[in-house]
Chains A and B, each alone.
Chain A
Amino acid sequence: MSDPLKIQGDTLIEKLGGLHWFWIGAIILLLIFIPLLNPIGLPISTTQWTLDAYQAILDAPKDKIVVWEDEWSMGGLAEAETGHTALMRLLLKNDIRFVMVSLTPDTPLLHSYITDIVTKTAEGRGKTYGIDWAQMGFLPGGEASLPFMAEDFHGAFEADFYGTPLSELTIMDDLHGYEDIALIITGSSSQTWIESPVRQWYVKYGVEIISYTLTGGTVLSATYWPDNGILGIIEGSRGGSELEFIAGVPGIGVAQSDAKTLAFLATAAFIVLGNISYFGSKFKRGGAS
């Protein structure tokens, strides 16, 4: 690894493009400090796919259960916290019963972490675990495990994350297979995961889906939205911030928005700098020869 204290390049124009990554990151982090200490309070825009997701959740039949299958893990908490918290609060606020399912080994602990936050909010108070929502443990196998859940939900888990047999959880009396599922919310920190639930839940069982994807995953999810299995898209923390706003459950997303704005603008500026250096150096070399 090169020395951070040395700027690469011989001429000024070359040095412009020769900063070590340490300084690039340090400048971005410094910029993030500003709005986190003094929130600017910039407005938020919403997108049609988030509005669609919100509406689809509200329209979910109340006699059925929403299944929130999740590939997000603790390692993705910083990006997931906004969306997970907003989503759980939205579901509880509107008395929509839901079951959380973990598709990675450390998703159960992410769910526990989020649950601890949400049960302390206005939406979480007065709600009862096992009646209003439940949390399953880890189901290995990725895509191929989804039809197993669809065919025999109790067989897929036997007990919840806390070891309570599913037969002892009231909510599980109404959830045995795909016919009892109102909607699938499929969360993933992979932008390409969405193809798997579409292939399984929608194609094979006709259950429609909300894609809660990593930021940027909208491109792939949008190829299935709105008429090809996906009813709406929540796009990472960006979508989470929108959901906070739309659903009236304000949280940490709004404060993060300002910081993101500055960080993105700084990145764009660095790309411009890099290109000025590259083309400037090339022009100079061309001129010299």
Chain B
Amino acid sequence: MIVRTGREFEVLILLLMIVYYVYWVMRSSSGKSIPQLRNFPAINAIEEGVGRSVEINKPVHYGLGDASRLGGDRAAGTISSLNFLSHTAALCARMGAKLIVRISPNPHLYTQAEAIVTDAYMSEGKIEYLDKIYTLRYYGGSRGYMTGGIRDMTTLGVALNVTMGALSVETVWAYAICRSQGGMGVGGGSRWGMIFGLAMLADYALLGDEMYAASAKISGDRDMASSFIGGDWMKFSLVVLTILTSLAYLVGAQDLVSWIFR
């Protein structure tokens, strides 16, 4: 037996995903056309918020996520957040808005954030306007992140709060304070349990997986975007599988499909 016993269908799912992924990424790499990722209002809202920040002379606050870290189930959200940070920092540099970045409690993100913000300002030719001490704020543990973040938002004011990544209670406090300060809230979270804060309180929210796709869209990277098209094909396949297996159960023919589920 080539495949480990009992894992046949799991391996099949994995292989199908690989096929879709490779097909779309190769198509993109070879310069062929790929479908555009759909529109995400949250992306336009960030630009609008940065513009507003300049108008009212209050800073843009960017939260990297109080539960973000480059590992395990949180890596994907964290990487998306770093992409959004790059996008937001570039907009701030271009339009001349003040930027404050809340660095997650996991300090290994400090260097990533610092490099991304520096690159963004350099690519806009505005590096002399970057005050790293003002912009990059590391507060220590998760409690320090929350209390320090609240303190900065209430003392400095907020025009726009963007919080992306692996989020915990930040979905509540960041947007509650932002709203009390009259700011605009844009957010996206990868941890499903805490999405409710975004859905309730943010003006524009990217729910779970949506944030990853939006992150690919703002990165402008065709290969990354194409991988999401492959992902869509996988999702359509799973919808078909769900409907077919459900129909089989509904008509009492579950024996036909039960092998899939062991």
Contacts and interface: CB of A to CB of B under 8 A. Distances in A.
Direct A–B contact present (CB less than 8 angstroms): yes
Interface of A: 1-2, 21, 75, 142-144, 190-192, 195-196, 214, 216-217, 220
A191 B193 contact: yes
A1 B154 contact: yes
Given A2-B180, A190-B168, A143 B191 contact: no
A75 B143 contact: yes
Nearest to B10: A203
A142 B71 CA distance: 9
Nearest to A2: B180
A205 to B, nearest CB: 12
Given A190-B168, A192-B194, 6 more contacts: A142-B72, A190-B193, A191-B192, A192-B192, A196-B73, A216-B193
19 contacts: A1-B154, A1-B180, A21-B176, A21-B180, A75-B143, A142-B71, A143-B73, A144-B71, A144-B72, A190-B67, A190-B168, A191-B194, A192-B73, A192-B191, A192-B192, A192-B194, A196-B73, A217-B193, A220-B193
Nearest to B155: A1
Interface string B185-210: 00000011110000000000000000
Interface of B: 67, 71-73, 143, 154, 168, 176, 180, 191-194
A144 B69 CA distance: 14
B61 to A, nearest CB: 15
Nearest to A195: B73
A143 B193 contact: no
A163 B67 CA distance: 31
A230 to B, nearest CB: 16
Chief secondary structure at chain B's binding surface: helix
Contacts, number: 32
Contacts of B143: 75
Given A1-B154, A75-B143, A190-B168, A220 B180 contact: no
B157 to A, nearest CB: 10
Nearest to B154: A1
The 8 tightest CB contacts between A and B, nearest first, are: A191-B193, A1-B154, A192-B193, A192-B191, A142-B72, A143-B72, A192-B192, A217-B193
Contacts of B67: 190
B208 to A, nearest CB: 10
A75 B194 CA distance: 18
B192 A220 contact: yes
A190 B180 CA distance: 27
A142 B166 CA distance: 15
Contacts of B193: 190-192, 214, 216-217, 220
A217 B154 CA distance: 31
A107 to B, nearest CB: 15
A176 B192 CA distance: 34
A45 B19 CA distance: 51
A21 B173 CA distance: 12
Nearest to B168: A190
A216 B67 CA distance: 18
Contacts of B191: 190, 192
Nearest to A190: B193
Most buried by B among A144, A192, A195: A192
Contacts of A75: 143
Contacts of B154: 1
Contacts of B180: 1-2, 21
